[in-house]
Amino acid sequence: MIARKPRTGSARGRKIILKSEQEIALMRRAGRIVALTLQRLADSAQPGISTQELDRIADTTIRSFGALPSFYKLYGYPANICASINDEVVHGIPGDRTLRPGDIVSFDVGATVEGMIADAATTVAVGAISPGARDLLKVTSEALSRGIAQARPGNRIADISAAVQRHVESHDFSVVRKLVGHGVGRSMHEPPHVPNFLDGTSDSSPELVPGMTLAIEPMVNQGAWQVVQDDDGWTYRTKDGSLSAHFEHTIVVTGEQCEILTLREAPGRSNRAPEDHSRAGRPLRTPAGG
Ligand code: MG
């Protein structure tokens, strides 16, 4: 959630926190709860339901596993999840608004287990959506997979950024630049930034090492990359009114590759970045921007 604004400086100069096996185990538990919650939200995203009702479903689900919703009161955020509809990019605050057929809605969820956080997002269709919207969801989910596939020791953050950007732009969509992914774990936002684009600092981009935990979260616009923020101080939407999608996973860099921590099931023997998880039925992951 709550994708970072790059260049706010808060992450620069701070040290990247490598996690212990015990901390990663807690994040894996948190991640599974996030994944189950996102699945429940996806199943519940039917015409007529309000985003506030969806927020309650998420709160109940997360707490039923003994975890806490990480977003609640984070920087003063007034809800448990972010629910961003159509041209809303991220940080949509749940409320009275009801979902309508043809909408797309991005859910961003965080769960905290014994102080350790996992963060993920997914965008789902409400009823039948346009071919263009379907393409946006597919490409954004694929971009997340491409980014995750670059998360391995010896690569740099910039390799993730480049893979996401290349895939998105090859489909004539654009990546949001105002908000970026982030380190995550002991707190929601840790260094480093994980941009979805190259910004000219690739050479000094941090090298990936085992134990690094990252929220990788492409935010992709159907039109131009510019976004504007609502007067509520939270909601970002596309400046040109085009649709926007958001997919996010929390991963840990392992000895060989990475493990996705925000999956419903523990991966077999980890150490793999599934190339095909975007095809595993309904998108099961989360957003940043939250
Ligand atoms: Mg995030």
Structure tokens at 133: 């919207």
Q: How far is the CA of 180 from the centre of ligand 1 (A)?
A: 8
Q: How far is the CA of 134 from the centre of ligand 1 (A)?
A: 23
Q: What is the pLDDT along the chain (290 residues), one digit of tens a residue?
A: 666 655 544 445 579 999 999 999 999 999 999 999 999 999 999 999 999 999 999 999 999 999 999 999 999 999 999 999 999 999 999 999 999 999 999 999 999 999 999 999 999 999 999 999 999 999 999 999 999 999 999 999 999 999 999 999 999 999 999 999 999 999 999 999 999 999 887 778 999 999 999 999 999 999 999 999 999 999 999 999 999 999 999 999 999 999 999 999 865 544 444 444 433 333 333 333 43
The residue count of the chain comes to: 290
Q: How far is the CA of 254 from the centre of ligand 1 (A)?
A: 20
Q: How far is the CA of 50 from the centre of ligand 1 (A)?
A: 23
Is residue 124 a contact partner of residue 270, using CB atoms and an 8 Å limit? no
Q: How far is the CA of 220 from the centre of ligand 1 (A)?
A: 14
Helix (H) or strand (E) holding 193: strand 190-194
Q: How far is the CA of 38 from the centre of ligand 1 (A)?
A: 14
CATH code at 15-271: 3.90.230.10
With 0-12 / 13-18 / 19 or more C-beta atoms within 10 angstroms meaning exposed / middle / buried, residue 98 is middle
What residue spans define the domains of the chain?
15-271
Q: How far is the CA of 179 from the centre of ligand 1 (A)?
A: 10
Q: How far is the CA of 74 from the centre of ligand 1 (A)?
A: 12
Q: How far is the CA of 124 from the centre of ligand 1 (A)?
A: 17
